[in-house]
Structure 1
Amino acid sequence: MITLTTDFGIKGPYVGEMKGAILTINPEARIIDITHSITRHSILEGSFVMEQVVKYFPPNTIHIGVIDPGVGTERRAIIVEGDQFLVLPDNGLATLPLKWIKPKAAYEINLKKIEGIIGRPISSTFHGRDVFGPAGALLDLGYEPSRLGKEIDLERIVKLDIEPKKKDNFWILKVIYIDDFGNIILNLEDYGKPEYIKILGKEILYLETYGKVKPGELLALPGSHDYLEIAVNQGSAAELLELRVGDEVEVELVYKEG
């Protein structure tokens, strides 16, 4: 089973080309489109989406992620092997899904080997079709990743700086995702149950779900992805607070005394 997460969009031929490359190598491949609508070049957004996906897929699933603004440069194309596989550029995209696949080894894909397998030159601008898709197809056929490239230091895979930071009574948090409803997901887990939060000069009640406030009102809540979430009932918190993925913001969590 192969999943695809990209920023290709759906207007052009790119998704179809990548699927064709996969199916040429492995006609029986089961391909599942996660999304091709990651914000262009947003590695952080792509990493969050891939994290959520790997939590719910069975062992040995191959997850191909292509958000790759550095395509054709010296950045590595890699495979991470765990109880599932990640096939992606080494640009930080692996940061969040790594937490869930029990990684045990990583490999740098040898482009010459892939070129020999696909029988044509690799494009310098479309590694989704010519590198990551074929590598994923071969893994799905049972190839050992060591046949596709040399082992590299798992600890030296590029990681995004998304650890929450404490400053006095505040957290310095980063917006790691904004969904189609405008809900803001922040990089804080395991924070207990505050009474309310303070952000951008606003005090926002912390509640269980969206319908606990009137339409148009802000709330904070435990999102379905286990991160702190800020939302507007039937509205967009991102628009109201003017926040985007990657923005940093000071947040104070206020708990009941006693």
Structure 2
Amino acid sequence: MPIITLTTDFGEKDHFAGAVKGAIYSELPDVKIVDISHSVSPFNIPEAAYIIQNAYSSFPKGTIHIIGIDSEINEENKHIAIKLDDHYFICANNGIMSMICSEITPEQIVEINIHDHIETKFPALEVFVKVACHIARGGTLDVIGKTIGSIKPIRNIIPYINDEQTQIVGSVIYIDNYGNVITNIKKDFFTKIQKGRDFKISARQYIFKEIYSKYSDVVNFETPVEKRNDEGKKLVVFNSSNYLEIAVYKSNSKTSGSASTLLGLDILDAVSVKFINKKN
């Protein structure tokens, strides 16, 4: 029996997450359910896309991922099921899957049509659960929908490069639990455009000229502990998912502040990289 994961913006207070789990267990008592996150900011498509992209591949092939974000069905927000990288994703066609699909081509995409027999006000419970359980039993996507060729894109997913390739303009796509700011600029993309040149990373009025390998690289361990003043230092790294991240060393958004609060950065704010051509 495959695993079913849940990624939603339901939070922990309300009954929604529990009701979805109960409905799955009612149909498949032996299934394993894993919560990826129920703390996605409400209706935050880029945040949900980043979370599911960086979590799904840690699960076994054949895992089924329910994504309950902005899933109310209407003419502009249909429901889809996707087979990609031998995983299954069930969600609204609102851009959530475009981050993954920009790197891996889906094997199959269907627009779910079982709504013809279900009137729903709670799609994750009344539609996504039924589709997930159908797949878990070995059912095919062709039974629950019609094949479509593409999905809705998400804006600002791909950084902009100027014609001279001297500047990348990216945007903030995620702010993590520590208040660190993750951009849509990936390491491979950065390196390809950089071509060994020096650079300046700009975020509002702040300038960074160095990218560290890890957070603690800002610490001078030769300095005695009692004389160090490293906590709160601003830095840039490529994080564990290889995205360019602006961070504050050992930040605490509730006390000393975080990269997001101290730099005044939020989702979709611009972060740019200017490359400096070396003189001959």
User: Structure 2 length normalisation: TM-score?
Assistant: 0.82
Q: Distance in 1 between matches of 2:52 and 2:25?
A: 22
Amino acid at match of 2:39: S
Runs in 1 of length 4+ with deviation above 6 angstroms? 255-258
Aligned to 2:46: 44
More moved, 130-139 vs 191-200: 191-200
The offset of 1:229, in angstroms, is: 0.8
Aligned to 2:211: 206
Unmatched tracts of structure 2, length 5 or more: 219-229, 252-257
Q: Distance in 2 between matches of 1:257 and 1:79?
A: 52
Length, aligned pairs only: 248
- Confirm or deny: 8 A CA contact 1:92 1:158 kept in the other structure: yes
- Confirm or deny: 8 A CA contact 1:4 1:63 kept in the other structure: yes
- Confirm or deny: 8 A CA contact 2:183 2:271 kept in the other structure: no
More moved, 130-139 vs 104-113: 104-113
Deviations for 1:223-258, whole angstroms, at most 9, x for unmatched residues? 101111110102211111111122223333569989
Asked if residue 197 in structure 1 is aligned to residue 201 in structure 2, the reply is: yes
Asked if residue 182 in structure 1 is aligned to residue 186 in structure 2, the reply is: no
User: Structure 1 length normalisation: TM-score?
Assistant: 0.88
The offset of 1:133, in angstroms, is: 1.7
Aligned to 1:109: 112
Q: Distance in 2 between matches of 1:231 and 1:110?
A: 44
Structure 1 257/232 Cα, relative in aligned 2: closer, same or farther at 3 Å?
farther
3-state SS of paired residue (1:58): coil
3-state SS of paired residue (2:98): coil
Q: Distance in 2 between matches of 1:142 and 1:240?
A: 50
Identity of aligned residues (%): 33
The offset of 1:16, in angstroms, is: 0.8
3-state SS of paired residue (2:91): strand
3-state SS of paired residue (1:216): coil
More moved, 165-174 vs 228-237: 165-174
Aligned to 2:271: 249
Amino acid at match of 1:71: E
Q: Distance in 1 between matches of 2:161 and 2:24?
A: 45
Structure 1 25/182 Cα, relative in aligned 2: closer, same or farther at 3 Å?
same
Aligned to 2:227: none
Asked if residue 239 in structure 1 is aligned to residue 239 in structure 2, the reply is: no
Greater Rg by CA: 2
- Confirm or deny: 8 A CA contact 2:213 2:238 kept in the other structure: yes
- Confirm or deny: 8 A CA contact 1:71 1:127 kept in the other structure: yes
